């Protein structure tokens, strides 16, 4: 189960992901991000589990300017590995 909490300080919106983030949640996460404008931060402090689709999504978000706050070390490493693997295999980034 994944819970999303959104807060704003007037300049930046933070979306907190709480629980297990899986591929079936990506549509809702993307909708939340899309409805926040350009200054969005994803707070991952309370994420307990992610899958490879979420990791790839987070990597794309970060590349497009969305900050990842409190990103767990295992998620950070996984994002880095996925990006290295895509470059090594010659896969064009989305």
Amino acid 91: pLDDT: 64
HEC profile for 27-79? HHHHHHHHCCCCCEEEEEEEEEEECHHHHHHHHHHHHCCCEEECCCHHHHHHH
Q: If DSSP codes are grouped into helix, strand and coil, which group holds residue 83? A: helix
Quick: pLDDT tens for 43-61.
Answer: 999 999 999 999 999 999 9
Amino acid 86: pLDDT: 80
Amino acid 64: pLDDT: 92
Q: What is the pLDDT along the chain (94 residues), one digit of tens a residue?
A: 999 999 999 899 999 999 999 999 999 999 999 998 889 999 999 999 999 999 999 999 999 999 999 999 999 999 999 999 887 877 665 5
| β-bridge partners, 10 | none
């Amino acid at each position: 189960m994944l819970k999303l909490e959104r807060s704003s300080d007037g300049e930046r919106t933070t979306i907190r992901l709480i629980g297990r983030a899986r591929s079936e949640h990506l549509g809702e996460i993307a909708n939340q991000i899309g409805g926040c404008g350009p200054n969005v931060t994803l707070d991952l402090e309370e994420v307990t589990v992610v899958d490879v689709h979420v990791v790839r999504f987070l990597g794309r978000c970060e590349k497009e300017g969305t900050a990842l706050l409190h990103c767990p070390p295992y998620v950070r490493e996984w994002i880095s590995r996925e990006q290295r693997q895509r470059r090594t295999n010659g896969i064009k980034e989305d």
